[in-house]
Amino acid sequence: MGKRTLSRLTAGLAVAGAATLGYAALIERNMFTLRRYDVPVLGADGEPLRILHLSDLHMMPDQRRKQAWVASLAATDPDLVVVTGDNMADPGSVPGVLRALHPLLDLPGAFVFGSNDYTGPVWKNPLGYLLPERDYVSGADLPYEDLRDVLTGAGWADLNNARTSIKAGGRLVELVGVDDPHIDRDEYELVSGPVSAEAELSIGVTHSPESRVLDAMATDGFGLLLAGHTHGGQVCVPFYGALTTNCDLPRSMARGLHRWPGSDAWLHVSAGLGTHPTAPVRFACPPEATLLTLIPR
């Protein structure tokens, strides 16, 4: 290969790389997508029930486009809204999160927090996510109690190591959740136990889909498990998928609806709507919210 050919090849690769990065940073990370799944978890005579699953907003104060898009999801008319954490990315994020959620707060809802509700982001080498083990580094404290107060004040259930039952879609729904297992805040043993006989639907909620938590919830009989955290891999390889889930969840389950192995439970992992502010790119994995329509088995 001559020097001129090599130079052209190098230049071509550089242009292609720059174009891909530009697409990932400027276009795909703003391609907000609503996914829809039917989930067969209801009894034979059960009327369909709609759950709007939101996760990983990683909201910055000036992300008005994202805020408006999330707010528009009220038009999907869900019976229940479940938020699986990592709402904030800046100490000034609470007003932006509330602009996004405000039209949904009149609906039945529930939430857990993720690590990025407690502390803000710090710069890190994105390649570190590919390591099997790495230290968690936290940034500035975030006003999670302010966010908690607004959500619970609207009547939403705080499921951080908690268990409750609510009415949604005319059904009695039993809910259990844990605080973020990614930073070892989960204490499922405090709220464990079989699903009550009175519950018409049972849902387990966590930010990070760690197997120790999902196994325990499925063993207790919770039929639908909801999680986020993975960003669906965030940067994926076409025809291969996610490079990492940043937890012990298999890459093949990085996003979407799956049977949880060894159980009758369904697991939905949201790819989320945001990115870490120091790595604001998505590739082959657009940001998403999900409308889950629960139907008879």
- Asked if 174 and 195 touch (Cβ cutoff 8 Å), the reply is yes
Instruction: Note the pLDDT of residue 108.
Output: 98
Question: What pLDDT is recorded for position 28?
Answer: 87
Distance of CA 252 to the CA centre of its chain: 16
CB within 8 Å of 181: residues ≥ 6 apart: 206, 207, 208, 210, 212, 213, 247
Pairing of strands 33-42, 49-54: unpaired
Specify the pLDDT at position 261.
97
Q: What is the reported pLDDT for 87?
A: 98
Q: Provide the 8-state DSSP code for 277.
A: T
CATH architecture of the domain 31-296 equals 4-Layer Sandwich (3.60)
Residue 262 CA to residue 266 CA, distance in Å, equals 11
Q: Which of 237, 236, 254 is closest to 245 using CA atoms?
A: 254
Question: What distance in Å separates the CA atoms of residue 24 and residue 21, rounded to the nearest whole number?
Answer: 5
**Residues comprising the chain, all counted:** 297
- pLDDT value, residue 13: 36
CA nearest 246: which of 215, 276, 218, 203?
A: 276
pTM of the model: 0.89
Q: Are 249 and 212 within 8 A, CB to CB?
A: no
Angstrom distance (rounded) from CA 60 to CA 93: 6
Amino acid identity at 109: G
Would you call 256 helix, strand, or coil by DSSP? strand
Count of C-beta atoms within a 10 Å radius of residue 96: 23
Residue 70, H or E segment = helix 64-72
Q: Which two structure tokens, joined as six digits, stand for 194?
A: 């079989």
- 94 is written with which tokens? 């609470």
Beta bridge partners of 141: 119
Instruction: At 193, list the tokens.
Output: 């136990």
User: Which among 232, 81, 254 has a CA at the least distance from the CA of 169?
Assistant: 81
Q: What is the pLDDT along the chain (297 residues), one digit of tens a residue?
A: 555 554 544 444 344 344 455 565 558 889 999 999 999 999 988 899 999 999 999 999 999 999 999 999 999 999 999 999 999 999 999 999 999 999 999 999 999 999 999 998 876 555 555 556 556 667 889 999 999 999 999 999 999 999 999 999 999 999 999 999 999 999 999 999 999 999 999 999 999 999 999 999 999 999 999 999 999 999 999 989 999 999 999 999 999 999 999 999 999 999 999 998 878 899 999 999 999 999 999
- pLDDT of the residue at 296: 96
Instruction: Provide the pLDDT for residue 26.
Output: 56
Are 115 and 84 in contact by the 8 Å Cβ rule? The answer is no
Report which secondary-structure segment, H or E, holds 11.
Answer: helix 3-22
